[in-house]
Amino acid sequence: MLEIKGLKVKLEEEDKQILKGVDLTIEPGTVHAIMGPNGSGKSTLSYVLSGKDGYEVTDGSAALEGEDLLDMEPEERAAAGLFLAFQYPVEIPGVGNMTFLRTAVNAQRKARGQEELSAGDFLKEVREKAKSLKIDAEMLKRPVNVGFSGGEKKRNEILQMAMLEPKMCILDETDSGLDVDAMKLVSEGVNALRSEGRSFLVITHYQRLLDHIKPDVVHIMADGRIIKSGGPELALEVENNGYADILAEVA
Amino acid sequence: MALAQLKMDTTAARLADVEIPQGAAWGNAARADAMARVRQMGLSTKRDEYWKYTDPASLTVADAPAAAVFQSDEAPLFDAVDRVKIVFVDGVFDADASDDLSAEGVEIERLADAMATDIHWAKDIYGVLEKRGQIPVERPLAALNTALATDGVVIRVTGKASKPINFVYLHRDETSDAILHNVVKVEAGASLTLLESGPAAARFSKLLEVDVADGGIFNHVRVQGRDHERRAITHCFARIAAESTFKSFTLTFNGVLTRNECILEIVGDDAVAHVAGACLGDGRDFHHDDTVFVTHDAVNCESRQVFKKVLRNGATGVFQGKILVKEGAQKTDGYQISQSLLLDDDSQFLAKPELEIYADDVACSHGSTSGAIDETALFYLRSRGVPMIEARNLLTLSFIAEALDEIEDTDLADELRDRLEGWLSRHS
C-alpha cells in the first residue's frame, strides 16, 4: 500500500534535517503504529506524506500503490487515497461542516472521474456515518470545527475519513486531548473502517490508544529514523520502560 | 498652494457652470442653505485629513470622467423578491420601468413633488440630517448633493411595510453624472427593508437620509457593482430613536473609486445600530473606502461596525471608522472590526479605527487586521481533496462570513453569497 524508502527531509527555511532516512512498508489491510519521543520526526513524516509546504525532500521516495506521492499536490494525494487525521484540526468559521464535507467528497470523486453525489444521497450517507460517531445534526450544521471540543474535533476528523473512504489513513496523535470515553468512541470509528483494502498508520505517544486500535506492527522512531520494529508487545515495552532502554540498545 | 486656496479653487471650478435646481419654497431654501455651506467649507481635496487615503479629485471635478457601460451576464439582483421596484436610469426616475409606487404601510413620492408641497414631512429631514452629520467632521460632498440633487424619492413608513422597496439603478450613458437624494422616515413602531442594486452612472453621488422613530425598524441591503470604471460617493445619514433598530449592509464588487460614508446618530435609549460591508476588488485601479461615524448620545445602546475587504492584484482598501460616545451615554456597547484579506503582496489596506469616549460605564472595542490566506487552513482543505483554487475561495467566503451574517434575511444573504461565489470564480 505505502512504500517509503530512504526518505530524507529537511526544513525548507533552515538547514535542519528532520528525517534522516526512513524506510517503511505498509501492506494492504494492516495497521502500523509509530511511537517515539518528542521531536523524533513522527509528525513531520505525516506532513511530508500528505504534502504540507515547508519541507524539502532531499533523498528517498514515498509511493502509494506504486504512485509517487512526493510529486503530487496535496489534493491529488487525497484523491489518490491518502488521508491525514490532523493532530490539531483547523477551525474554518463561516463554512458549514456539511458544505465542507460535500465539497471534499465531490472534489475527490471528480478528480477520480466519478459522478458527484447528489444532495440526497450525500445527506443520507453523512447522517448514517455521523450517527455512529455520535455527531448530531447541530454539529453538522456548525462551521467546521468552530467551537468544537477536543473530542468533537477528533470525531469530526474520523467522520471525514469515513466519508472520503481513503485507502491509506494516517492518524497523527489522534489521542491527544481526548478523555477515555472520547478515545473509545474515536477508536470504534476507526476500527469500523478497518478492511482488507485499507491500511492505517497510527502515530502516538502512548500505548493507551493501541489498546483500542490494535496494531499489527509497531515502529519506534528516534532522531529521524525508525530504529526498531516489532509486534504489539513493543508498545507495551515502551509503556512500561519508556524509550531509554530501546534508545540505549540501538545506540 | 495653501490648503484653503486649493479648496476654494476646487470649489469654484466645480460650481462654475452649476445651477441649483429650482422648485417650490422649502426645497429651494434647503438647497440654497446647502450650497452656502459648500462654499463656506470648500470641497474636499487630497490634502484634507479626512481624505488622506482616498483622492476625491475625480469626485469634485466639474466634468465627470466617463465610464464604460457594464454588460452583466448575471440575472438582475432581487428578481425573486416580492418588492416595489423604483428604477433610476443614470440617476433619473423611470416611471415606466418602476412598479406602482405603493405598498401597504408606505407612502412613496418623488422628491420634486414633495418639494412642491408647501407643508411636507420631508422638510424636517431633507438636508437636515445631512447638516447634523457635518459636525464634527465636514462632509462638503454631502452638502453638494443636497444642493444639486436632481432626483430621488421620499418614503414615509407608517406601518409594517408589506414588501421591501428596491432602488434599481441602471447605467446607460457613458458620461452620466447622477446626483440622487432619497429620504426615508420610519414612524414609531413601523418597519421597512430597503434594497439597492445595479450600476448607477459613470459618476454617482447618492445620499440617503433615514429617520427612525421610537421602536422603528430599518433594514438596508445594498449591492454595488460589478461595473468597474464608475466613481461613486455615497452617504447615509441616520438618526436613530429609542428602542429602534437600524441595520445596513453593503456588498461592493469592483470600482475604480467607491467611497461609502455612513453617519449614524443614536439619540434614543435602548436602540441598536449596525453597519456592515464587504468589498471585493481585483487590480491596481480598484479603490474602495468605507468611512463610518457612529455617535452614541443615549443610554444602553448597541452599535456594531463589521467591514471585510478582499483585495487582489494591487487593489486598495480604506477604512475610517469612529465610535463617539457622548457624555451620559452610559451602558453603551460599541463594537468595530475592520479586516482585509490581501491575496497578494501588492494589495494594501489602510485603516484608521477611532474611539472617543466621554462616558465611564461603557464597553467599546475595536480591531483592525490585514492578512493573507491562512496557509494551515488551506493545507487542511487541500488535504481533504479540495483543489487549490476552490480551497482559497472557500476560505475567502469564510473571511467574509462575519459581515454577511449581519444580513437579517437569510434568503437575501443566500442570494448575495451566490454573487460572491460567482465573483470569486471569475477572479481566481
**pLDDT tens across B214-263, in order?**
999 999 999 999 999 999 999 999 999 999 999 999 999 999 999 999 99
Q: What is the pLDDT of residue A132?
A: 82
A153-181 burial, b at 16+ Cβ within 10 Å, e below that, comes to bbbbbbbbbbbbebbbbbbbbbbeebeee
Residues of A in contact with B397 (CB under 8 A): 94-95
Residue A206 is predicted with a pLDDT of 83
Residue numbers in B near A100 (CB within 8 A):
381, 384, 394
Other CB atoms within 10 Å distance of the CB of residue B425: 11
Angle between helices A150-164 and A97-111 (to 10 degrees): 30
Query: Mind giving me the DSSP string for B286-309?
Result: -EEEEEEEEEE-SSS-EEEEEEEE
Buried-state track B341-355, b at ≥16 Cβ within 10 A, e below 16: bbbeeebebbbbbee
Distance CA B282, CA B264 (A): 30
Tell me whether residues B404 and A94 touch, CB distance under 8 A. Answer: yes
Regarding predicted confidence, which is higher, A237 or A78? A78
By CB atoms closer than 10 A (0-12, 13-18, 19+), residue B103 is: buried
Least Cα separation, residue A126 to chain B (angstroms): 16
Tell me the percentage of chain A whose pLDDT exceeds 90.
62
A15 pLDDT more than 90: no
Q: What percent of chain A has pLDDT over 70?
A: 100
Residue A251 has a pLDDT of 67
For B379, nearest residue in chain A (alpha carbons): A52
Tens digit of each residue's pLDDT (9 = 90 or more) over B154-194? 999 999 999 999 999 999 999 999 999 999 999 999 999 99
Residue A176 has pLDDT above 90, yes or no: no
pLDDT digits (tens, 9 = 90+) for B367-387: 999 999 999 999 999 999 999
Of B376, B391, B397, Cβ closest to residue A94: B397
Is there a contact between B385 and A53 if contact means CB atoms under 8 Å apart?
no
More confident residue, A134 or B137: B137
Cβ-based contacts of A84 with chain B (< 8 Å): 383
> From the centroid of its chain, how far is CA A191?
14
The shortest C-alpha distance from B385 to chain A (Å) reads 4
Chain B interface, best mutation among A50, A55, A75, by max B CB count within 10 A: A75
A95 to chain B: nearest residue by CA?
A: B398
Using an 8 Å CB-CB cutoff, list chain B residues near A78. 382-385
pLDDT of residue A226: 93
Are B234 and B269 in contact by the 8 Å Cβ rule? The answer is no
Residue of A144, A145, A148, A157 to mutate, interface with B, max B Cβ within 10 Å:
A144
Tell if the CB–CB gap between A95 and B401 is shorter than 8 Å.
Answer: yes
Q: Give the gap in angstroms from C-alpha B32 to the nearest C-alpha of chain A.
A: 49
Contacts with B377 from chain A: Cβ below 8 Å: 90, 92
Q: For residues A246 and A35, give the distance between their C-alpha atoms in angstroms, rounded to a whole number.
A: 12
Q: Supply the angle between the helices A119-132 and A180-193 in degrees, to the nearest 10.
A: 130
A83 neighbourhood in chain B, CB within 8 Å? 383
Residue of B nearest to A51 (CA): B383
Judged against a pLDDT cut of 90, whether residue A244 lies above it is answered with no
Buried b (16+ CB within 10 A) or exposed e, A63-79: ebeeeebbebebbbbbb
CB contact under 8 A, A143 and B402: no
Q: What is the ipTM of this complex?
A: 0.95
How much is the pTM? 0.91
CB spacing of B385 vs A94 below 8 angstroms: no
B266: nearest Cα among B343, B395, B359: B359
* pLDDT score recorded for residue B185: 98
pLDDT at A194: 92
The answer to whether the CB atoms of B377 and A75 lie below 8 A apart is no
Separation in Å, CA of A105 to nearest CA in chain B: 8
Stated length of chain B = 428
Q: Indicate whether A75 pLDDT > 80.
A: yes
Report whether pLDDT(A208) > 90: no
Interface touch A94/B401, C-beta < 8 Å: yes
pLDDT at A238 over 90: no
Crossing angle of helices A180-193 and A150-164, rounded to 10°: 0
Contact A104 B402 (CB under 8 A): no
Spell out which residues of chain B touch residue A77, defining contact as CB-CB under 8 Å.
Answer: 383
Predicted pLDDT at B159: 97
Query: Who among B384, B388, B390 is closest to A78 (CB)?
Result: B384
Measured between CA atoms, the residue of chain A closest to residue B401 is A94
Confidence (pLDDT) at A177: 82
Distance from CA of B403 to the nearest CA of A (A): 10
> CA angle at residue B247 from B85 to B250, to 5 degrees?
65
B387/A75 touch (CB, cutoff 8 Å), yes or no: yes
Rounded-to-10 torsion of CA B261, B266, B271, B273: 10
Residue A38 has a pLDDT of 86
Q: B125 vs chain A: nearest CA distance in angstroms? A: 39
Nearest to A95 among B374, B387, B397 (CB): B397
- Which of A75, A89, A143 is nearest residue B388 as measured by Cβ atoms? A75
Tell me the three cell numbers of residue B64.
Answer: 465627470
What was the pLDDT predicted at A245? Answer: 80
Q: List, in order, residues 6 or more apart from A241 with CB less than 8 Å away.
A: none
Instruction: Give the per-residue pLDDT at B54.
Output: 97
pLDDT value of residue B2: 85
pLDDT at res. A86: 94
List A residues 44-83 in contact with B (Cβ-Cβ < 8 A): 50-53, 73-75, 77-79, 83
pLDDT at A120 over 70: yes
The parts of chain B modelled with pLDDT lower than 50 are none
